[in-house]
């Protein structure tokens, strides 16, 4: 993006430190006292287990798995799945094709010595510790769900709406769907001795501390309201029938179905359970909507994902005129099942229904196709728009927000028709 991300983050962080960014419910004097010393943000991080060493210091991206160019676009410490590479694959994104979003680098964690500590004022007693074997002995659940970055589709704020936003310039490939297996977070919280007054839980990753604009924000962590934690959140140790791959949280990650990806903390090492609302930069300064159309100090912390559609095509894909081509794609929504997908091959003038290839299900995507016989050579735009079971249809524009979250508008996919 054209705006310098570091300068932007530094400015937002100054606002947060000055108490002008929103932090509902948290006493600002307490916050400022906590933040008074240099690097004092770490004072907010609770128990301090040492951060793990990076798993693959040789890879510049910090990502362990192979990132072949025909399957991924590498964006700094992140790797975006190329939608064209999903064509012909099943509803579950193969693990080796699943996008990676890392604040720093994939850590190497020994599953045999890994421990999860559950602690805080929202427990009846003291901290409780669980090993991987303990979790595996508890009742297991499977849940098919997408993990999608809140910033997925962000580059379209610029390419379609001419707006400058900060953050990784994802196209639409910061999403994957997997079959996650693990134990319900509710089960672990119950065994840890959840107290009646608990309101928030905050999982924290074992990856390195994250610095932005020269300020150490501590380890990646984001509060989750207890209601969602008890509803359908998982502590997942398997992904599509395999142990979690290193890049996706080995040995255990949190999985929060339908919510923005940041809720699904990877490499979880501890979970604070609190009788008071919890705050971290990931629910105050980040992952809220800031901008003229949003409340001063930002929207409420982001929860569910939006509705989106993507063609399984590269931008600029080439089609021969006079032949019939099968266009394929996928649509999904954080609000529930996709109920309808329509496609336009004339820039949005006329729409026709796409054929759905999956029975739509909540928390997942549906594959679809539509045939197209282009007539004239030249540039063309392909559009797909989904409607979800709440009746929300993808709009023509998404309201601007500074960090480019929750893009939902119909994407105009440029292609070329040759004679
Ligand atoms: N510990 C930790 N958890 C994390 C992150 C991270 O950097 N560290 N990134 C978050 C973000 S922003 C997203 S979108 C998802 C990405 O999950 P994936 O890399 O398995 O696709 O993980 C989330 N969990
Ligand atoms: Mo994300």
Contact 169, 1 (CB under 8 A): yes
Q: CA-to-CA distance for 74 and 68, rounded, in angstroms? A: 9
Atom of ligand 1 nearest to the CA of 149: 14
Closest ligand 1 atom to Cα of 101: 19
For residue 352, what are the CA distances in angstroms to 226, 338, 344, 384, 385? 42, 16, 7, 10, 10
pLDDT tens-digit series, residues 274-325: 999 999 999 999 999 999 999 998 999 999 999 999 999 999 999 999 999 9
Low-confidence ranges of the chain (pLDDT < 50): 1-50, 57
Which pLDDT belongs to residue 297? 86
Q: Which ligand has the shortest distance to the CA of 218?
A: 1
Measured in angstroms, how far is the CA atom of residue 243 from the centroid of ligand 1?
Answer: 17
Which of the following CATH numbers is that of domain 308-418: 2.60.40.650, 3.30.70.1230, 3.20.20.70, 1.10.1740.10?
2.60.40.650
**Ligand 1 neighbours (beta carbon < 6 A):** 98-103, 147, 149, 205, 207, 220, 248, 261-262, 264-267
User: Domain extents for the chain?
Assistant: 5-283, 308-418
Rounded to whole angstroms, how far apart are CA atoms 93 and 89? 7
Atom of ligand 1 minimally distant from the CA of 98: 21
Give pLDDT, residue 59. Answer: 78
**pLDDT value for 36:** 35
**Residue 125: exposure state from Cβ atoms within 10 A (0-12, 13-18, ≥19):** exposed
Looking from the CA of residue 219, the nearest atom of ligand 1 is 1
264 Cα: distance to centroid of ligand 2 (angstroms)? 9
Is it true that domain 5-283 has CATH number 3.90.420.10? yes
SS3 342: strand
| Ligand 2 centroid – CA 262 distance (Å) | 5
Distance CA 304, CA 258 (A): 6
Strand partners, 215: 212
Distance CA 8, CA 285 (A): 11
What CA–CA distance (Å, rounded) separates 363 from 381? 29
> Taking Cα atoms as reference points, which of 264, 248, 270 lies closest to residue 107?
248
Q: Which atom of ligand 1 is nearest to the CA of 103?
A: 7
Tokens of 162: 């001419």
The number of beta carbons lying within 10 Å of the beta carbon of residue 274 is 21
CA of 167 relative to ligand 2 center, distance in Å:
10
Distance between CA atoms of 338 and 355, rounded to whole angstroms? Answer: 12
Which of 65, 167, 245, 261 maximizes ligand 1 atoms within 8 Å of its Cβ, making it the mutation to test the pocket? 261
The predicted pLDDT at position 251 comes to 98
pTM equals: 0.89
Mutate to test the pocket of ligand 1, among 54, 64, 94, 101 (most ligand atoms within 8 A of CB): 101
């Amino acid at each position: 993006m054209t705006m310098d991300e570091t300068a932007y983050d530094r400015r937002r962080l100054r606002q947060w430190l000055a108490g002008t960014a929103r932090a509902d419910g948290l006493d600002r004097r307490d916050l400022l006292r906590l933040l008074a010393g240099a690097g004092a943000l770490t004072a907010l991080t609770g128990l301090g287990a040492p951060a793990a060493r990076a798993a693959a210091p040789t890879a510049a991206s910090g990502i362990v798995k192979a990132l072949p160019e025909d399957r991924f676009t590498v964006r700094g410490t992140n790797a975006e799945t190329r939608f064209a590479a999903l064509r012909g694959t099943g509803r579950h994104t193969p693990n080796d094709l699943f996008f990676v979003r890392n604040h720093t680098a994939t850590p190497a964690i020994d599953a045999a010595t890994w421990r999860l500590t559950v602690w805080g004022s929202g427990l009846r007693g003291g901290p409780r510790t669980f090993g991987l074997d303990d979790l595996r002995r508890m009742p297991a659940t499977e849940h098919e769900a997408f993990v999608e970055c809140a910033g997925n589709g962000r580059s379209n704020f610029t390419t379609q709406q001419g707006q400058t936003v900060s953050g990784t310039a994802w196209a639409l490939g910061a999403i994957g769907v997997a079959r996650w297996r693990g134990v319900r977070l509710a089960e672990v919280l119950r065994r840890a001795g959840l107290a009646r007054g608990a309101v928030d839980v905050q999982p924290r990753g074992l990856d390195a501390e994250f610095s932005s604009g020269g300020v150490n924000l501590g380890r990646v962590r984001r509060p989750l309201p207890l209601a969602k934690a008890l509803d359908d959140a998982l502590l997942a140790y398997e992904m599509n029938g395999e142990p979690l791959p290193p890049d996706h949280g080995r040995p255990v990650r949190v999985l929060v179905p339908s919510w923005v990806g940041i809720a699904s903390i990877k490499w979880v090492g501890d979970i604070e359970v609190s009788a008071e609302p919890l705050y971290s930069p990931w629910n105050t300064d980040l992952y809220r909507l800031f901008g003229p159309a949003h409340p001063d100090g930002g929207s409420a912390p982001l929860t569910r994902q939006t509705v989106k559609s993507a063609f399984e095509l590269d931008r600029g894909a080439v089609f021969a005129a006079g032949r019939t081509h099968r266009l394929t794609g996928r649509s999904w929504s954080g609000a529930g099942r996709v109920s309808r997908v329509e496609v336009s091959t004339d820039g949005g003038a006329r729409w026709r229904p796409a054929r759905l290839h999956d029975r739509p299900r909540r928390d997942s995507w549906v594959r679809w196709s539509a045939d197209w016989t282009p007539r004239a050579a030249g540039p063309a735009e392909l559009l797909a728009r989904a409607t979800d079971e709440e009746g929300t249809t993808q709009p023509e524009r998404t309201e601007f927000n500074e960090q480019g979250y929750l893009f939902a508008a119909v994407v105009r996919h440029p292609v070329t028709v040759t004679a």
